[in-house]
Structure 1
Amino acid sequence: MWFMKKGRAGCLAMILLLGVQLLTACSQTQLPTDQALTPKPAKDQLQKLEVLNQTADDMYKKVMQGDLAGGRAILQLLSEQIPLIRYEGITTLEGLNALTETITQAKRTFNAANLSPAEGQVSAATIRLATDALTHSNEPMWLQYYNPLMSDLKQMEQASQEQKKPELVQAANAFRQHIAIIHPSLLISRDPIEIEKLDSMVLFVTDQVRSEQEPYKQVLNVMPTLRNTIDVLFLKKDATAYLPIIDDQNPIIWKLVLGAVILAVLAFAAWRLSKKDNGLVVVNKAADD
């Protein structure tokens, strides 16, 4: 047997180099993203969705022309088409539930004995926006409601500042109706958690306006948050200024922590190794030496 003395610095440098290589490997390893795991819609899905969207457009045109009976007949076709379509890769379970509930509610409306043209038009518009959201995820038609919603909020804010209750009630009702029309489309297109935030604030404003006490201060206080929530849902760039920065796609923090742990453990191992046997490392001599 023979002995080779190892310097503490050399041993530490070698192990730390190994740690750096491991850290580099960790930083280059990419975890599968949600987008990669989400199945892409098949061609037959997209074709059926286009047919569904066209059917909804036909219903909308019939109702807007005053043909409620024709709209009711097309609504029945819509309700028959929806179960025949697969929605994976298209929308979430919440979005699908919103679509089916919209159809169910529309059938109640159109089967009512005292159906008014205005009610039929609202139902037809809601369905039309929802099916369009399924087929045009990048530029859905419901995005056109941003300006009307902002106008509603401005009127609510002005009425609160001037403490005019009738004007506030009118603006709040218009805002709630606009939200109701695009609500199924929001659930189809956006994160349900963000929709829950919006619903909570809409309910809060509604309760305040209906309260016998003065609602002006409470309505004014919620306005900035309500505007920002709508900006987030409508993907307005300015909304990011109000949001915390969370980088889920590139978690650099956990990489740095993991690297620090690896380097610390290896440095300690190097120190222990250099102290063992007074820095001497035993190496078996080859049999033929």
Structure 2
Amino acid sequence: MKFKVALFIIIILILAPVTIHANHHISSIEKLDQISDEALRMVKSSRYEDAKKLLEYFSNEFFTYTMENDVFSIDEKRIVTIAQNEAIEAMGDGSMNHDERINRVTKFRLAIDAITSSNQPLWTQMEDPMMTVLGGMKEAALQGENEQFHAHLNSFLSLYEVIYPSIKIDAPIQRVQNIDARINFIDEYRAKILSDDKSRQEIEVLEADLKALFDDMSEDEADPSLWWVIITTGSIIIVTLSYVGWRKYKGEKERERAKKRM
């Protein structure tokens, strides 16, 4: 009996540090995720200075955590650091509008979710707004609606930029590169896409590639508490970015006309 008691105590002593370490690991991961979520909430409420301080606090916490735990790859650390730096920069840029600041911090928020989530990453829930904008771009190209095509394409590029860090974290590098190549081709050869049927097929191939990517990553349900992020970002993309894309296109046309008059 004494031997069994002694053995039981020894097992407890051996397993206790492991259990404590595991709980510390979980709480640290959750803390990083919660900080990023709270930063986005602050930006949504226009509390830019508070959000900046919280993002800087995240930087210290993330550095400490990665120094103590070898759980993230070098690429993951680099992607998160870049997204975080862009978010901090946006908080201090007085010329940047509210919607663009939300986009910057949303990009950071989604990247953190991508490296900390064990289930379906939050960025996959952006499928509907992204495919809606892409569908509008395809329809405009088919109908030869030049201005609408440029506006939808610029909106699509803005949305893709928001989820791009998360895609690089979760998707195989070759798959990301293939999607990048198609998007770059469509962006660079806009006039050709509008005038050439064969080139226009690149939009359909891109649509299929993105659909397959979302389907492969969307096996579980997203955390219901994070749906407000999806709704907020989706509305920005569908409404605000469409206007921003249109304004960007008109600005480019004005610059081209100005150059011709010189």
TM-score category of the 2 structures, normalised to the smaller one: 0.5 to 0.7
Q: Deviations over 1:163-221 (max 9, x none)?
A: 01111111111111111111111112221221111111111111122x48845535521
| Aligned AA (1:145) | M
C-alpha contact (below 8 Å) 2:84/2:108 kept by paired residues: yes
Residue 225 (structure 2) pairs with residue 235 (structure 1): no
Residue 214 (structure 2) pairs with residue 200 (structure 1): no
Q: Which runs of 5+ in 1 are unaligned?
A: 1-40, 238-289
| Aligned AA (1:121) | I
Residue of 193, 196, 205 corresponding to 1:225 = 205
C-alpha contact (below 8 Å) 2:194/2:200 kept by paired residues: no
| Aligned AA (2:151) | Q
Please, what TM-score do these two structures have when normalized by structure 2?
0.67
Q: Which runs of 5+ in 2 are unaligned?
A: 1-20, 218-262
Partner of 2:34: 54
Residue of 82, 93, 102 corresponding to 2:62 = 82
Mark the CA change 1:166 to 1:79 in structure 2 (over 3 Å): closer, same or farther: same
Shift of 1:115: 3.2
C-alpha contact (below 8 Å) 2:141/2:194 kept by paired residues: no
Residue of 107, 114, 124 corresponding to 1:143 = 124
CA distance in 2, matches of 1:108, 1:178: 19
SS of the equivalent of 1:153 reads helix
Mark the CA change 1:214 to 1:140 in structure 2 (over 3 Å): closer, same or farther: closer
Shift of 1:146: 0.9
CA distance in 1, matches of 2:115, 2:45: 25
CA distance in 2, matches of 1:49, 1:121: 23
C-alpha contact (below 8 Å) 1:133/1:141 kept by paired residues: yes
Partner of 1:277: none
Residue 87 (structure 2) pairs with residue 106 (structure 1): yes
Partner of 2:48: 68
CA distance in 1, matches of 2:109, 2:199: 32
Residue of 186, 203, 223 corresponding to 2:167 = 186
Shift of 1:47: 2.3
Tell which structure's C-alpha radius of gyration is larger.
Answer: 1
Q: Deviations over 1:251-275 (max 9, x none)?
A: xxxxxxxxxxxxxxxxxxxxxxxxx
SS of the equivalent of 1:234 reads helix
Mark the CA change 1:213 to 1:189 in structure 2 (over 3 Å): closer, same or farther: closer
Aligned length: 196
C-alpha contact (below 8 Å) 1:45/1:86 kept by paired residues: no
CA distance in 2, matches of 1:213, 1:235: 27
Of Structure 1 and Structure 2, the greater helix share is in 2
Q: Deviations over 1:108-156 (max 9, x none)?
A: 2222242321221111111111111122232111111111121122111
CA distance in 2, matches of 1:230, 1:56: 26
Please, what TM-score do these two structures have when normalized by structure 1?
0.61
Identity of aligned residues (%): 19
Mark the CA change 1:42 to 1:185 in structure 2 (over 3 Å): closer, same or farther: farther
Mark the CA change 1:212 to 1:227 in structure 2 (over 3 Å): closer, same or farther: closer
Residue 148 (structure 2) pairs with residue 167 (structure 1): yes
C-alpha contact (below 8 Å) 1:63/1:71 kept by paired residues: yes
